[in-house]
Amino acid sequence: MKRLFPILSIVTAALLSWGLYGALVTAPTEKTMGEVQRIFYYHVPSAWIAFCLFFVNLAASIVYLVRRSLKADALAVASAEVGVVFCTIVLVTGPIWARPVWGIWWTWDLRLTLTLVLWLIYVSYLILRRFSSSGQTPKIAAVLAVLGALDVPLVYFSIWFFRTQHPQPVMGGGGSIDPRMLHVFFVNLAAFSCFGALVCWSRYRLEVVRREVEETQALESLLEPGSVR
Amino acid sequence: MAKSSTITRVTLIKDLRLEWRSKDALNSMLFFALLVVVIFSFSFDPTAEESRRIAGGLVWVAFLFAAVVAVNQTWARELRNQVLDAYRVSPAPANSLFLAKALGNFIFVSVLEALMTPLFIVFYNLRAVGPAWQLLPVALLGTWALVVNGTFFAAMSIRTRSREIMLPLLLFPISIPALLAMVEATSSILTGEFSAKFWIVLLVAYDVVFTTGCLLLFDIVLHAE
């Protein structure tokens, strides 16, 4: 496993630079939206990674609740933190793209609202982890992750119905996508998937090592007779 | 060993009696909701037509904030004299305790709503254009949605630092669909423009999902230590 880490880093670096070159140089400029459309190559892969990581967080939380394995909990922390970062990228690049194209920064559209609500739920998850005392954090955080996942379909249906009641701005029709664009998009998707996995993996290892250090320090302070900490 | 329904009933009666004698939760909730009504009323100063459209939002935001005030006190009361630890070591099922607390909060918030609704009608000149009887199921289902999650998250947040602020931070994001449903259902009924049926069904689904989820997971939260 440890040898895989540098290999994955090199692959990620290569894919990211290829993706960057593709997005800025080889991909053709979009006809109606112009240059700003190039943000698409970062916006959509980030969203994909964020949703994947939130799913990993749910899976890790369930594994923790069933098996009480601390490694699953470390994975849950790592995926939630990195997922929130990618979700923030989505929520920041979205309005930058929307303003020149739709003429508005924000609309209560289904996908936008669902992303925002997910972001809110996971930020509250991270705050809960930060504020609770260490012994019980894993359990109550895992419970919150499960309840948050139960919420997602309900949010989906409520906003779906909310949208049908309220007028919405028209957002670009269908139309075919240039194969060169599609090619660049898939390179970026692969690059971001590797990047997300790499960052999450590093954060996971950091979390595991941090806990080991804490445990060792606690043990040492118990073993040293004269020391008062 | 006592049946779990007996434990629920005894705990509920104890909480109601405590509240009846001290009136802590109800007084603070009532005054808080009154302040929200007054401040909103003169900061917007709506006409009858406008207030019909915005009242759904105002009413439920006021009740939500007031409910947080009450729900925050649910478990804090049990921390004194280590009552919660006694619950933990007793063989009583955790669910019956949770149900008692949630039902208690449901009664407090319903009393608050019954007392505040006339005030809303007076301050905002409200008159429903749609079928007014539907407001009753919306109020009951919506209150239960707020209270069941509120009681659960309050039990989670008593384990954290700065627990008073923790409850709204956990409760509000998860409650977004329920809140949207309550607000939209109330507005639909008041303006009579849309049918509130879908929102009532959504509230039922929300209540069923979260009541089941909370009952299944409460044991873990109570014994998390």
Ordered DSSP codes for A6-61:
HHHHHHHHHHHHHHHHIIIIISPPBTTTBGGGGGHHHHHHHHHHHHHHHHHHHHHH
At B15 the pLDDT is 87
Inter-chain contact A124–B220, Cβ cutoff 8 Å? no
C-beta of residue B208 within 8 angstroms of C-beta of residue A145 = no
At A107 the pLDDT is 80
Picking from A65, A132, A159, the nearest residue to B160 by CB comes out as A132
At A226 the pLDDT is 63
In chain A, which residues have their Cβ closer than 8 Å to the Cβ of B157? Answer: 128
- pLDDT, one tens digit per residue, over A41-51 is 888 899 999 99
For A132, list phi and psi in degrees, rounded to 5. -95, 155
Instruction: Evaluate whether residue A227 is within a structural domain.
Output: no
Q: How far apart are CA B149 and CA B147, in angstroms?
A: 6
Q: Percentage of chain B surpassing pLDDT 70? A: 98
Which residues make Cβ contacts (< 8 Å) with residue A66, sequence separation at least 6? none
Instruction: Evaluate whether residue A229 is within a structural domain.
Output: no
Instruction: Evaluate whether residue A228 is within a structural domain.
Output: no
C-beta of residue B67 within 8 angstroms of C-beta of residue B111 = no
Instruction: Evaluate whether residue A131 is within a structural domain.
Output: yes
Inter-chain contact A128–B184, Cβ cutoff 8 Å? no
Q: If interface means Cβ-Cβ distance under 8 Å, which residues of chain A face chain B?
A: 65, 117, 120-121, 123-124, 127-128, 131-133, 135-136, 139-140, 142-144, 146-148, 150-151, 154-155, 157-159, 161-162, 165
CB pairs under 8 A between A and B: 92
User: Looking at residues A80-105, what average pLDDT do you find?
Assistant: 89
- pLDDT, one tens digit per residue, over A152-182 is 888 888 888 877 665 555 555 455 677 788 8
Say how many C-beta atoms besides its own lie within 10 A of residue B78's C-beta: 19
pLDDT at A54 over 90: yes
Q: Percentage of chain A surpassing pLDDT 70? A: 91
This complex has an ipTM of 0.86
At B205 the pLDDT is 94
Residue numbers of B between 171 and 200 with CB closer than 8 Å to A: 172-174, 176-178, 180-181, 184, 194, 198-199
At B215 the pLDDT is 92
Provide the domain count of chain A.
1
Mean model confidence pLDDT for chain B: 87
C-beta of residue A135 within 8 angstroms of C-beta of residue B225 = yes
Instruction: Evaluate whether residue A18 is within a structural domain.
Output: yes
pLDDT at B128 over 80: no
Instruction: Evaluate whether residue A44 is within a structural domain.
Output: yes
User: Looking at residues A181-206, what average pLDDT do you find?
Assistant: 90
Range of the domain at A160: 4-168+175-222
In chain A, which residues have their Cβ closer than 8 Å to the Cβ of B160? Answer: 128, 131-133
User: Looking at residues A60-77, what average pLDDT do you find?
Assistant: 92
Closest chain A residue to the Cα of B180, Cα to Cα = A158
At A228 the pLDDT is 53
